[in-house]
Chain A
Amino acid sequence: MTALALEPMPRTSPLRRLSGVLYRHPHLLLLALLGPPILWLGVVYLGSLIALLLQSFFSIDEFSGVVNREFTLRTYGELAHPANLDIIGRTVMMAAAVTIAAAAIAFPIARYMALHATGRTKAVLYLLVMLPLWSSYLVRVYAWKLILAKEGIVTWVFDQLGLAWLLDGILAIPVIGGPSLSISYIGTFIVFVYIWLPFMILPIQAALERVPASLLEASADLGAKPRQTFRKVILPLAFPGVVAGSIFTFSLTLGDYIIPQIIGQSRIFIGQAVFIHQGTAGNIPLAAAFTVVPIVIMAIYLFGAKKLGAFDAL
């Protein structure tokens, strides 16, 4: 055995002493770790969120335009105004339509990624879905302004195929049509689906990823036709994933104000209403009351989703 004596431990270092104190008082360590993020998120974020919600119980003086800081439910009463109900209804319908379309497009991709692709293909597919999810929201919205413009590629493709009459026919449909695709609800709808699609693909893929291959084997082995396996095995297992994805598509559509502003009609959505009331109109209480709408809708939605077991797929 070595005869070298071990150096005395450096007990004097202040960091070491501090470390000893934190050992003896683990609560101090927890406080040191949790303090800064909680201060930031709790005070800055939660604080402003609560302040905003409180302001929805204030009202605005119709003549002077000054915020009256007294508790009232009048502002919420204003939400029930037909014009505002119209905005809320339009937004919810759009969110529902977007969610359904996104699920329909996302499902085959997610199914292929989870149940068929392997190795490199799978990695590449994953990247192809993930890149648009994380990158360039605004640029991707902008891309559709190019595509849907009257002189853009969609019109050109329809012309080349000799289907210009069809496009005109679609645009002539009342309500959802318009002078061009980029000034119509159809355009808004397409862009919403496009932007939120990755948010739908990944949860469904995650849910299907947990389907063991042996289960599909078993189903086939028991004599189920592919169609039956799909209906009785794959679809029920994918459902929590669809619900999880729909949380994103629904919530994001409810709150977005950029997309309908760039691609769409003059009739507005909740997000735009919030933006207008807090900005040009200076009616913070009404804007705040409007933000409560998506929060309440999402709370109900999340409660339902939890019952359906969607959170396991997140």
Chain B
Amino acid sequence: MRSRRKARAAAEKKPAALTLRLAVIAGLAFLHIPLLLILLYAFTTEEKSYQFPPPGLTAKWFAAVWERPDIWQAVGLSLKVAAISTVVALVLGTLASAALWRFNFFGRESVSLLLVLPIALPGIITGISLRSAFSLAEIPFSFWTIVLGHATFCVVVVYNNVIARFRRTSGSMLEASMDLGADGFQTFRHVLLPNIATALLAGGMLAFALSFDEVIVTTFTAGQQSTLPIWMLNELVRPRQRPVTNVVAVFIIAVTSLPILGAYYLTRRGEHIAGGSR
């Protein structure tokens, strides 16, 4: 009797105590209620303050956002920066992970440390380093200086996802392909690429979300241009039309959440989304 009970307990996890459940619910509420509130505030009729509860609800702010060219410009810039940074990160991250997967070379540890450094160190250090380097080298701020900064911290996101997939890929598959007459490039196209495709997609989506949302490094590398988060930061410091900001905030949540959910579903078997901080 006793042994049967023990066997069952090992098969199922024990239900948690009530206090533990309450702590979990409270913690998760703490994480998510603020985001729901932003959604609510996007519909408020109150324009001058953050009054709660909102005196009335309206959808007119969505229309107001639609007609703001400055917002559209910022969205356009953010999308362009995120897209190009993602492409650069995909190329560099894949190359780096392939090198660290296939080769054992002197300084391998240092290289993997170098890859992680841009997100391991606080963003402000990356930002001010790049800014002072630009000024030393007399490079004027431009679209490309923003991309330079973003790609730098996006590389590691792609790298982490792709190398996790590589580690689960049997090396003999590459040998089999070469053995059957495929050269290195054919092997990449027909065997390697299909096997890492979802990891690339996941890494790319996360890199995109990270770049689209980045503000700390961008403030140092952007000059006069406004990405969407920079636009938002300016609104926070000097508010003009608060509900418009709320609508933009909802938009940012949506644009960054979708790729993250997508990346999760692409890698949920066996891999956690590999990454870290910003």
Contact present between A and B (CB < 8 A): yes
Chain A residues whose CB sits within 8 angstroms of the CB of B27 once the complex forms: 105-106, 108-109, 197
A19 at the interface (CB under 8 A from B): yes
B179 at the interface (CB under 8 A from A): no
Give the number of A-B contacts (CB < 8 Å): 278
B95 at the interface (CB under 8 A from A): yes
For chain A, give the interface size range: 35 or more
A251 to chain B, nearest CB (A): 6
B89 to chain A, nearest CB (A): 10
Chain A residues whose CB sits within 8 angstroms of the CB of B237 once the complex forms: 261-262
B82 at the interface (CB under 8 A from A): no
User: A44 and B260: CB pair below 8 A?
Assistant: no
B9 at the interface (CB under 8 A from A): yes
User: B125 and A295: CB pair below 8 A?
Assistant: yes
B276 to chain A, nearest CB (A): 8
B:52-74 near A, CB below 8 Å: 52-53
B1 at the interface (CB under 8 A from A): no
Partner of A139, one of B12, B31, B126, B252: B252
Chain B residues whose CB sits within 8 angstroms of the CB of A37 once the complex forms: 92-93, 95-96, 99, 115, 155
Q: Tell me whether chain A's interface is mostly helix, strand or loop, or mixed.
A: helix
Partner of A152, one of B50, B126, B206, B229: B50
A:132-160 near B, CB below 8 Å: 132, 134-147, 149, 151-153, 155-156
Partner of B273, one of A116, A130, A140, A257: A130
Q: A37-B93, A137-B213, A194-B30 are in contact. Are A217 and B126 (CB under 8 A)?
A: no
Q: A128-B28, A134-B206 are in contact. Are A252 and B122 (CB under 8 A)?
A: yes
Tally of B interface residues using CB under 8 Å: 95
User: A15 and B183: CB pair below 8 A?
Assistant: yes
Chain B residues whose CB sits within 8 angstroms of the CB of A130 once the complex forms: 260, 264, 273
Complex CA gap A291/B132 in Å reads 13
A57 to chain B, nearest CB (A): 13
User: A52 and B128: CB pair below 8 A?
Assistant: yes
Complex CA gap A288/B131 in Å reads 11
Complex CA gap A294/B125 in Å reads 9
Chain B residues whose CB sits within 8 angstroms of the CB of A271 once the complex forms: 122, 124
B173 at the interface (CB under 8 A from A): no
Partner of B95, one of A36, A48, A51: A36
B:113-128 near A, CB below 8 Å: 114-115, 117-118, 120-126, 128
Please give me the residue from chain B that is nearest to A122 by CB atom.
Answer: B13
Please list 8 pairs of residues, one from A and one from B, whose beta carbons are closer than 8 Å in the complex, sorted by A's number: A38-B114, A51-B133, A52-B132, A116-B20, A126-B264, A134-B275, A145-B50, A255-B123
| A-binding residues in B (CB < 8 A) | 6, 9-10, 12-17, 20-21, 23-24, 27-28, 30-32, 34-35, 37-38, 41, 49-53, 88, 91-93, 95-96, 98-99, 102-103, 105, 111, 114-115, 117-118, 120-126, 128-133, 136, 148, 151-152, 155, 181, 183-185, 206, 209-210, 213-216, 229, 232-233, 236-237, 245-246, 249, 252-253, 256-257, 260-261, 264, 268, 272-273, 275-278
- Beyond A112-B20, A275-B128, 4 additional contacts (C-beta under 8 Å) are A18-B185, A52-B125, A116-B15, A298-B121
